[in-house]
Amino acid sequence: MVVVGASIDMCLASGFLPTPSGLAGQVLVFTLGLVCFGVGAGCYISTEMGAGVRDKFMLGLVTLTKRTIKFIRTILEMSVLIIGWLLGGPIGIGIVITALAIGPIIELTLNIIWGGAKSENLVQVEVGSDRFMAGSQRMPS
């Protein structure tokens, strides 16, 4: 998290990423950022080399509930949005769009990477000492 924040600060300070002043430019940059974020998350999850805390939590819930990634991720993001609002954080249209769109983008990315197969049937998750595949029973170790 520290590296991500520092990298963003450096990019903004350098002028490498100009801040658009008009609404059309802001919408374009927001949309590109959202898609890059979702595709990036799908790519690093697909490597099965370790995912972030929220991503592991999401994958565990997908396995346990047998629901889709887009459904579970949307519930998680909306829950965090509500908690943030209850703690006094600002809520804007961008965060609402992000909360609603990031799950479907991640799931679409995983489906493309894994050759069109349903991602919820391919995600391997370890829960305690058991290994699961989302949408299936306990796997042999």
Which tokens in the block code for residue 106? 């991640």
Q: Give residue limits of the domains in the chain.
A: 22-139
| Beta-carbon contacts of residue 50 (< 8 Å; ≥ 6 apart) | none
Which tokens in the block code for residue 50? 């370790």
pTM over 0.85? The answer is: no
Per-residue model confidence as pLDDT tens digits over 57-74: 998 899 899 999 999 999
Per-residue model confidence as pLDDT tens digits over 88-125: 999 999 999 999 999 999 999 988 887 755 444 545 54
Which residue pairs, CB below 8 angstroms and at least 24 apart, start in 60-67? 60/125, 60/127, 62/120, 62/123, 62/125, 62/134, 62/135, 63/123, 63/125, 63/127, 63/132, 63/133, 63/134, 63/135, 64/127, 64/132, 66/120, 66/134, 66/135, 67/120
- Which residue would you say has higher pLDDT here, 2 or 38? 38
